[in-house]
């Protein structure tokens, strides 16, 4: 099963482009860069580290 890419930030509900910059934790909580910087790169849901989500290649 393919990884489901979330297309909006879980904090501010802002839209995230599939090829834009987004951050994700190991439990796939997804946030925008602005929120991640405010949260010091720590996921508020699971306290995991937030890292840049790999960009999906356009097929």
Q: Which of residues 29-58 bind Zn ion (CB under 5 A)?
A: 29, 32, 35, 43, 45-46, 48
Does residue 7 touch Zn ion according to CB under 5 A?
A: no
* Among 9, 16, 22, 24, interactor with Zn ion by CB under 5 A: 9
Sheet (strand 51-52) strand order: 30-31, 23-24, 51-52
- Cα 48 to Cα 3: distance, rounded to the nearest angstrom: 19
Binding site for Zn ion (CB under 5 A): 9, 11-12, 14, 25, 27, 29, 32, 35, 43, 45-46, 48
């Amino acid at each position: 099963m393919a990884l489901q890419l979330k297309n909006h930030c879980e904090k501010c509900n802002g839209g995230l482009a599939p090829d834009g910059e987004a951050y994700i934790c190991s439990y796939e909580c997804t946030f925008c860069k602005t929120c991640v910087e405010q949260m010091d790169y720590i996921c508020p849901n699971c306290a995991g580290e937030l890292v840049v989500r790999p960009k999906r290649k356009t097929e």
